[in-house]
Amino acid sequence: MNSSCLRNAYAEGHYVLPPLPYGDASLEPLICAETLYLHHDKHHAAYVAGANAALETLQLINAGELSTAHASAACQNFAFNLGGHILHSLYWENLAPKGVHLRTDSLLSEAIDAEFGSYVAFEKLYTAVALAVQGSGWAVLGVDPISRRLIISGICKHHEVLVPSFSPLLVCDVWEHAYYLTWSNDRKGYINAFMQHINWTVVNERYEKALRNEF
């Protein structure tokens, strides 16, 4: 993982909810203030609490104070909740109130052109993947750790259909709680608006760190 926001997601032995980098109403009309408040303060907070609870269960098993019969469920809970904590931390940071353009002389811009042909082609594929996620999940632009190439992939829930060691650069939450109050069932409208609010400076920094294997 390669983002500075994750340093604010853990403190003194516990996962913690990082503050939003902007106010609740900053992403209107993409995301209404009520959605942003509920999404951050309730949904993301619940994943933080769930990750801490699952970690505590695993520590009890490790200490012999709880049966190993609980291990499978604890691992599932840990992956789901920590996955949610990580993805949401990345999500808040890769959005900006007015969006920040991708510099055409940036490494990421060159890589997008090389991999997808053009920014427009990238946007089309990313949107298609985000629309195609079945049920609740995420669209992710990331770096394959073997080829170092850019890949667009979908994630089911927070932790399924996930490539190990894949470095996420740009994540879009397509769970209904991310957009339903603002966009109703129009997921495509939400994704199109999301594309206009990306903080490409942050995404390019993540790309450069991923290439340097910085975590």
Binding residues (CB under 5 A) for Mn ion: these are 173, 175, 178
Q: How far is CA 151 from CA 45, 49, 184, 215, in A?
A: 29, 31, 29, 19
Task: State the nearest-atom distance from the C-beta of 43 to Mn ion, in Å.
Answer: 5
Dihedral sign of CA atoms 207, 209, 212, 215 in order: negative
Report the residue number, 80 or 175, with the smaller CB distance to Mn ion. Answer: 175
Nearer to Mn ion, 83 or 142 (CB): 83
Between 85 and 209, name the residue whose CB sits nearer to Mn ion. 85
Q: Which residue's Cβ lies closest to Mn ion?
A: 173
Nearest distance, CB of residue 16 and Mn ion, angstroms: 17
Do residues 108 and 204 touch, judged by C-beta distance below 8 A? yes
Measured from the CB of residue 80, what is the shortest distance to Mn ion in angstroms? Answer: 12
Nearest distance from residue 44's CB to Mn ion, in Å? 7
Other C-beta atoms within 10 Å of 137: how many? 23
CB-wise, 78 or 175, nearer to Mn ion?
175
Of 42, 38, 51, the residue nearest 85 (C-alpha) = 51
Residues 6 or more apart from 139 whose CB is under 8 A from it?
126, 129, 130, 133, 152, 153, 154, 155, 171, 172, 174, 191
- Is the Cβ of residue 33 or residue 66 nearer to Mn ion in the bound state? 33
Nearest to 141 by CA among 181, 178, 170: 170
Minimum distance of Mn ion from residue 83's CB (angstroms): 11
